[in-house]
Copies of this chain bind each other. A is one copy, B any other.
Amino acid sequence: MDKVKVSIAGGSGYTGGELLRLLLFHPNVEINQVTSESNYGKLVSKVLPNLRGCTDLKFTGIAELEETDLLFLCLPHGSSMKGIDNFKKIAPKIIDLSGDFRLKDKDEFEKWYKEPHVNPDVMQEFVYGIPELHREEMKTAKYISSAGCNATTTILALHPLFKNNLVEEDKTVVEVKVGSSEGGKQSSFASHHPERSGSLRSYKPTSHRHVAEMIQEMSFGKDIKIHFSATTTDSIRGILATSHVFLKEDLAEKDIWKLYREAYGKEPFVRIVKEREGNFRYPDPKILSGTNYCDVGFERDPYSNRLVVISAIDNLMKGAAGQALQAFNIMHGFDEKTGLEFPGLHPI
């Protein structure tokens, strides 16, 4: 089979580096070019230490990108929407990992991002990049906007409930616990080890941008609220979302099991994790590093109509590079798991 020729714009950051790692081992991919302005001309293996001995690639500059089959964009916020016209000339297919094209509505973008969208006409051309929600569209898509990491964790937890109109619209509360890699590769005093290690930092109690994606994907024509907060932990990778929803009617745990089995029973990357005992009886990002899984579990509150839904991912995988590769596989008719087989380590 002919290989798909891909390039990565922005391959030295944490997301781009992770994507590059996956693509290097993908049997149907040939890597064309990888760009990094700050590491221009350097060997990839000097910049991404886990790729020592795995590749002879060098970083090139974004201005030197040649025509290719598909272009992955792993650029800083704003760069994709600014450069999209040019990127379209380079490749007929694009998968963007930034937040620039996740929303369909210009006003929503500007409400949550507090800035104008410089290319609003293109917003509708992108398929929102969670395969479990948009697999059919992806099969024929030219442009995919890979979903936000916190949005992915939350949406996969709650989508079956909202879709089936089971929860009170205005009461959902979600708190994500996130690791430090979510902040990217740029160091700062906030990420200085003596300051950050061991901290539990309420870095975004309200107004997180990813809420806009959640509302877009789970409203189904209603006016819903997702009361969202984000706290950083001492982890590097991993997101744990604890979602509290309030059921409109009294569902037993077996009803909820059925609901999630129907939604995800055939999904290769969503596992329902809910056991009676054991250290990992509920989803825990600890054992997901390097995997593309989203684990989802739940517990009914016996004293109220609350349902607690627990979900976990590796933010650089199912929350970024892995999910983008899953979409890539769907776009090209490859087995969806290709290049994403790593099951994760335990203990780790």
Contacts and interface: CB of A to CB of B under 8 A. Distances in A.
Q: Which 5 residue pairs spanning A and B have beta carbons closest together? A: A194-B347, A187-B192, A49-B280, A50-B346, A206-B301
A347 B181 contact: yes
Given A192-B191, A206-B301, A231 B177 contact: yes
Interface in A161-210: 170-171, 173, 175, 177, 179-181, 183, 185, 187-202, 205-207
A300 interface: yes
Most buried by B among A173, A191, A297, A341: A173
Contacts of A86: none
Contacts of A54: 343
A219 interface: no
Contact of A343 (B50, B207, B300): B50
A35 to B, nearest CB: 19
Interface in A224-243: 225, 227, 229, 231, 233-238, 240, 242
A25 interface: yes
Interface stretch (A88-96, A118-126, A285-293): A285-293
Contact of A347 (B237, B282, B348): B237
A278 interface: yes
17 contacts: A18-B345, A25-B341, A50-B344, A54-B343, A177-B200, A180-B197, A185-B192, A194-B236, A202-B299, A202-B310, A205-B308, A207-B302, A229-B242, A234-B235, A236-B347, A236-B348, A342-B342
A46 interface: yes
Nearest to A344: B50
A301 B230 CA distance: 13
Given A173-B244, A197-B197, A289-B348, 7 more contacts: A170-B304, A185-B192, A200-B286, A205-B310, A206-B302, A229-B242, A234-B234
Nearest to A47: B278
Copies held by the complex: 4
A336 interface: no
A225 B348 contact: no
Contact of A189 (B25, B279, B290): B279
Given A187-B192, A191-B187, A198 B275 contact: no
B279 A199 contact: yes
A284 interface: yes
Contact of A286 (B51, B198, B225): B198
B193 A275 contact: no
A202 to B, nearest CB: 4
A21 B343 contact: yes
B275 A206 contact: no
A179 B234 CA distance: 12
